[in-house]
Structure 1
Amino acid sequence: MKTNKATVLTFAEKCKSILSSNWQGQLNTIKADAKGSKEDIYTSKIKYICKRGKPYIWVPEKELHNVNLIVDERSSFSVANPIPGPLASLLRSIKKLPARVALTGDVVPLTDEKAQSATKVLREVMLSEQTAISASSYTVSGVLSSSDHSRTSRSENLKDLLEGDEKYIVYKFNQRSCTYIDGNGSTHDIDQEDIGGSKADPLAPLSAKLIDGINQSVARRRALMLFCLTYKNANAKDAYMLSVDRKGFDILSKVAGPLLKDGIGQYQWKEFRFTLKEEARDVESFCSQLVEMEEDAVKEVSSHSGLA
């Protein structure tokens, strides 16, 4: 257990990281009518940001949520780990869901003054992404710019909240419970104290761009296949970056499965966890260690080829 805690994020950290990496979630409120609250649920996708780890959501004025919340503040909010580009298509084809967070709690409207404060934080969140990208090295900017900007950029997806014609009501989501749901559908209830004491991973805000930038490159995916061979002794036919964090990364690889009765084996998709030598403090540090691992893997394969 000690090894696991040292090489992977805690469930609380994973929840915080998912909330910090995405910008859109599914809000569920209880439908209301003139007689009061009913048990029917109204659901729609809503954009949000996190301030000190807590979601602030922007609900369009025309949305039914606003009527529902006047009668009953209780709601739930679900946010998935953003999985863009070719990886999304693959996960759908193998019927694998991205990890996600499910929150329950009360949605409280902000006063005009607090709504303005939240909007200021929204601008800061958008600016921080642009600043981080512009300050990155040639290698890192190459990876990030390879991603599908319209699907992986928080600033691109949030700018309608500031520049669009639609009007919004800003709410704070006061959570009562938090559940982490992994890619296999297993649920893990998180203690509120653990959530309060945890921080989002430093790579989270740019993780969608980083993952997609790697997966959009044939050369970089070949490097992932090389990782599987060198570090896990697994001969991968294909590979995708599945997730990244300060401690390491997960690769989804297409490897040979067990032989069947007729002696023929089928390929199956399998996850592998890779641990970094040092915790990555930012995307720059992560990419630097990734390049080192690539170089080491190439040397390892070359040395064995030479012996052969």
Structure 2
Amino acid sequence: MLLQLLLAGISHAREPVSAVQYPAKITPEMLLGKKLFFDPLLSEDRQTNCASCHLFSHGGSYPQAKTPMHNGRKSRYNSPSVFNLSQNYPLGWEGQLTSMQAQMHSLVNKQAKMGLSWDNIENRLRQQADYNSRFTRLYPEGITRKSITQALVTYQLALTTPSPFDAYLQGDESAISEDAILGYELFKRYGCVSCHQGQKIGGNLLQKIGVIEPYAYDPDDSSQASLGRYNTTENEADIQVFRVPSLRNVAQTPPYFHDGSVSTLEDVIRLMARHQLGREIPVTDVTLIVAFLESLSGSPHPTLMP
């Protein structure tokens, strides 16, 4: 084990993963976005807010396989975390969105999540003296869909979650356990890092699930979740292609996969190794990789928390 730890230290300067940090400054625009994010005024029933599907107590995601929508139906996909979005491209499980602004407009235009149109949202906010005052100070145009979107996006981009692993990357060798250090080395050696790399440890490319061994799916699933990017492109080559998710806070965000069908990290590791890498990972190595993934848990800046 000592030799493995020494080797980990030697390769420390050439990491495929980089650290995240809190915003350099908490701005009034971020705080306005925070107020909007947690305000049920933005929903038709005045009971739902953005955080209803992105629980801060659950790593910014939702604890069930699918999230309930305003119309009573379930969403097509498992709700991804709202944390650490700044380097995620593309967005959406199908990679169908090119910016957070586009994602915001897509959610409102469909009216499935919150049930209100942009006109409704603008009119409601304009009736609130506090919102009128804050928007006027920050945006010359006042309350418009553009300024509402800008405030919400600014807040969400600020939700970075530095973790013990980030402290380790920045030179604090005692920040994480020896098991986590060894798990990270295994994560790299097995090849997991070929898809999960960068600041977000994923979230920046599209990949087919079942590269080596086909991944079973139900073609009769009415939600069509298993079709992945095909739902956007109608290109048969995109069947079962999904955005690779970020692994930050992954220990806090079960269930896993696009359909929320897997409940434990151990099962996720074994399935991904088999289907993406064509390998069977020993139980001892799985345990070490889980220790690494657990070290990726962090929280947003205290001022930006609920």
TM-score (normalised: structure 1): 0.25
- Which of these two proteins has the greater Rg computed from alpha carbons? 1
Relative contact order (C-alpha < 8 Å, sep 6+): which is higher? Answer: 2
User: Normalization by structure 2: what TM-score?
Assistant: 0.25
